[in-house]
Amino acid sequence: PFQMGTSIDEKNIESLMESSPTLSSVYKYIMIVDDEPDILNLYMDYLQMEGLKVRTFEDPIQALSEIKINHSSYCMIVSDIRMPQMSGIEFIKRVNKIDSKLDVIFMTAFDLEHDKIKEVDKAEFLKKPVKLENLRECIIRILESRAQK
């Protein structure tokens, strides 16, 4: 039981964070990929204000290069599905070959073709226009469920 006057030792917290991969993974980056810079800026500003670490990419090919080099820096990818350079589905299929543990949230304004969805398991879907609170709630829910595993 918690008693008044009991202080939590910062060293204990640090050692707990080092020994528990789930706690430290909460502090990793969220990658957002969308070909619309205004949307990227909006999501990034909002999520950073909410205390999340975010990196954004307009081009899924550049994002894929970043994943090849730094996949361990990320815990999640939020991706648009329709982009001119490469579809979000194709992007995530390639990401999964590098690191299949990354959580995925797709955003789309279009109705999804079920056969395409089956190609990518473990993904969440948000319909555009995505409300900022809905995006945040979805991210937090995934992070919390990951921390409980």
For 76-135, the DSSP string reads: EEEEES--SSS-HHHHHHHHHHH-TT-EEEEEESSPPPHHHHHTS-SEEEEESSPPHHHH
Q: How far is CA 61 from CA 10, 13, 36, 69, in A?
A: 41, 38, 15, 13
**CA pair distance 33, 40, nearest whole angstrom:** 8
Mean pLDDT, rounded, for 29-48: 96
How would residue 116 be classed by pLDDT, with cut points 50, 70 and 90? low
Q: Residue 122 corresponds to which tokens in the numbers above? A: 């473990």
Give pLDDT, residue 139: 94
- Angle, helices 37-49 vs 132-147, to 10°: value is 60
∠ at Cα 54 (16, 50), nearest 5°? Answer: 75
Rounded distance between C-alpha atoms, residue 89 and residue 72, angstroms: 21
Answer with the residue of higher pLDDT: 79 or 6: 79
Q: Any residues with CB less than 8 A from the CB of 87 and at least 6 apart, and which?
A: 81
Q: Which residue has the tokens 């809905």?
A: 134
pTM, full prediction: 0.79
